[in-house]
């Protein structure tokens, strides 16, 4: 009679690790969904040659009527949002993912003239231009 000792040699990931990944994914799906969509929509923010702040949002598939740009000068904030509701009611227009988002950007430095911001939407790209606030020049008072 031979006494064989079975040796467990895990694979690269090991069976327990592999099972844990899938178990966690399916049992905690809402958390994983929030993590994957937290950066949506893709946004580029930069300054142009005139010092204006440019915000570009990649919004392919949205229409102009789906989008809303709200400005609150007292809070120094710009909020970009979309709420797409499918009112057609047909089975063929069913969407798997909701296409809603809301992003708020705050000008903490208070160096932008948010009240004079402008926006254009063209070919799935929303571009918001926010000019810099005019610099306040010091005033010299003549003493009599």
Q: Which domains does the chain have, with CATH numbers?
A: 11-39 (no CATH), 41-87+97-134 (2.60.40.790)
3-state secondary structure of 26: helix
Tokens (6 digits) for 58:
């990649």
What does the alpha-carbon distance between residue 122 and residue 144 come to, in Å, rounded to a whole number? Answer: 59
Mean pLDDT calculated for residue range 112-131: 93
pTM of the model: 0.62
| Dihedral, CA of residue 84, residue 85, residue 86 and residue 87, to nearest 10 | -140
Residue with tokens 């063209």: 122
Q: Kindly report, residue by residue over 2-48, the tens digit of the pLDDT.
A: 566 655 555 555 556 656 666 666 666 666 555 555 567 888 999 99
Copy the structure tokens of residue 91: 């089975």
Predicted confidence (pLDDT) per residue in 55-94, tens digit: 999 988 888 999 999 999 899 999 999 887 655 544 445 5
- Share in percent of the chain as helix, strand, coil (round to 5): 25, 30, 45
Q: Are 76 and 114 in contact (CB under 8 A)?
A: yes
CA separation for the pair 46, 128 (Å, rounded): 11
């Amino acid at each position: 009679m031979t006494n064989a000792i079975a040796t467990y040699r895990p694979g690269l990931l090991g069976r327990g690790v592999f099972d844990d990944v899938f178990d966690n994914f399916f049992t905690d799906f809402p958390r994983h969904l929030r993590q994957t969509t937290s950066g949506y929509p893709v946004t580029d923010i930069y300054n142009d040659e005139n010092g204006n702040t440019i915000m570009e949002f990649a919004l392919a598939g949205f229409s102009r009527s789906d989008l809303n740009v709200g400005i609150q000068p007292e809070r120094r904030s710009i909020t970009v949002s979309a709420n797409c509701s499918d009112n057609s009611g047909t089975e063929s227009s069913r969407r798997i993912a909701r296409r809603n988002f809301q992003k708020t950007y705050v000008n903490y430095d208070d160096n932008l003239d948010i009240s004079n911001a402008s926006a254009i939407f063209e070919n799935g790209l929303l571009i918001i231009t926010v000019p810099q606030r005019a610099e306040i020049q010091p005033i010299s008072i003549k003493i009599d």
